[in-house]
Each structure stands twice: as structure tokens, then as C-alpha cells.
């Protein structure tokens, strides 16, 4: 599909104690799982990170245009460098994400400027489809220090999709984001079953 996968790998990873995307899960860096899922579906992939270690994946890596602005700044940087109208933004710490789900959400997004999945009344702000047309909104939010992603998305009247009701192949593991060593151990066990 003509779309860009934007992987956000600029987090502080304070709870993990090291860069989350590079942490090994069953012998593979976490970000590698995300890259592989995206590769099946999108035409381009870029990584947003200030860590040059991500260059080893052979994918363009762009540092934040405006430093230390969290996910809002990361999405702005990603949209700025994207060459496609349709963009799938995802954090680097969601290794169980599936190609099937990515494709489904991209197709489901239609003409919405932002489309986000919801599961058990929790909107997953770091997994979503963003149209290039919201670039200027994210630029403005970054410059004005409006850095709460949920607020920025809400201000743009994003479409929220209840995944349990709409996505036939739903498995709650696909949303598992890994922030701590304990969560890493837990998902390692889950993924071996």
C-alpha cells in the first residue's frame, strides 16, 4: 500500500533503563518486529530517533526537528519527512503488532485526518493512521509546547475505532507495549506459546 510507516523511537526509555527499540526480545531487537510487520504492508518506512544506533537497520533515521517534544514532536518530524499522504505511526515498543492489523487500520481510516484504535475504552495514541494534511497542526503544537498527544489528536477530531467490535482478528497482545524488564520477560513467555 502507498503509505509510510513512521516508527517513533525517540522515547527516554527511563523505565527500561536502555533504548527500548534496541532491547532484545527472543534474540531480536524490539523495533525489528515492528519493521517486519510494516514491510509487509507499506511502501516506505522511516525511523524517528536521535540515536544513531538505529542506522543499522538500513532504514532512513531522522532526528527530531525540534528536540525533546515527545511523541507530538516525533509525529511532526515523521510527517515532515514522509513522502506519502497516508502514514502509519507506531512506537518502537509494540513488537506483537501484526501486518494484518496495520493494513486493516490503513484501509479503515478512509478520509479521516487521524484514525486511532481503542480497546477496552483505552485509546492507543501511539498506534494510528495520520494524514499528511495534519503536518501543520503538529508543527504548531510542537512550537507552542502543546505536547499532550491525546489532546492534540482530540483537537483534530480524530476518528476512534473500537477494535473489539470492528476488527475480526483481534488479539489483545498486538497492543502490548513493553516499558520495563518485567513486561519484557512476560511478553517473551507469551510469544513462545
Confidence (pTM): 0.93
Domain ranges in the chain are: 4-192
| Residue 119, beta-bridge partner list | 122
**Cα dist. 189→18, 71, 115, 145, 193 in Å?**
21, 29, 31, 40, 7
CATH topology (fold) of 4-192? Spore Coat Polysaccharide Biosynthesis Protein SpsA; Chain A (3.90.550)
- Chain segment 63-74, per-residue pLDDT in tens: 999 999 999 999
- Chain segment 85-144, per-residue pLDDT in tens: 999 999 999 999 999 999 999 999 988 999 999 998 999 999 999 999 999 999 999 999
Amino acid at each position: 500500500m502507498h503509505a509510510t510507516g513512521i516508527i517513533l523511537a525517540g522515547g527516554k526509555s527511563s523505565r527500561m533503563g536502555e533504548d527500548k527499540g534496541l532491547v532484545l526480545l527472543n534474540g531480536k531487537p524490539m523495533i525489528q518486529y515492528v519493521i517486519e510487520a510494516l514491510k509487509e504492508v507499506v511502501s516506505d518506512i522511516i525511523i524517528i530517533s536521535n540515536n544513531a544506533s538505529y542506522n543499522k537497520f538500513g532504514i532512513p533515521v531522522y532526528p527530531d526537528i525540534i528536540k525533546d517534544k515527545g511523541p507530538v514532536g516525533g509525529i511532526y518530524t515523521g510527517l515532515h519527512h514522509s513522502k506519502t499522504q497516508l502514514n502509519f505511526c507506531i512506537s518502537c515498543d509494540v513488537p506483537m503488532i501484526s501486518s494484518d492489523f496495520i493494513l486493516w487500520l490503513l484501509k479503515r481510516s478512509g478520509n479521516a485526518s487521524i484514525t486511532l484504535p481503542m480497546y477496552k475504552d483505552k485509546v492507543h495514541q501511539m498506534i494510528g493512521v495520520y494524514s499528511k494534511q495534519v503536518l501543520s497542526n503538529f508543527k504548531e503544537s510542537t512550537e507552542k509546547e502543546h505536547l499532550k498527544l491525546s489532546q492534540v489528536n482530540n483537537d483534530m477530531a480524530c476518528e476512534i475505532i473500537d477494535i473489539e467490535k470492528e476488527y475480526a482478528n483481534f488479539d489483545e497482545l498486538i497492543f502490548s507495549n513493553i516499558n520495563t524488564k518485567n513486561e519484557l520477560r512476560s511478553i517473551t513467555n507469551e510469544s513462545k506459546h
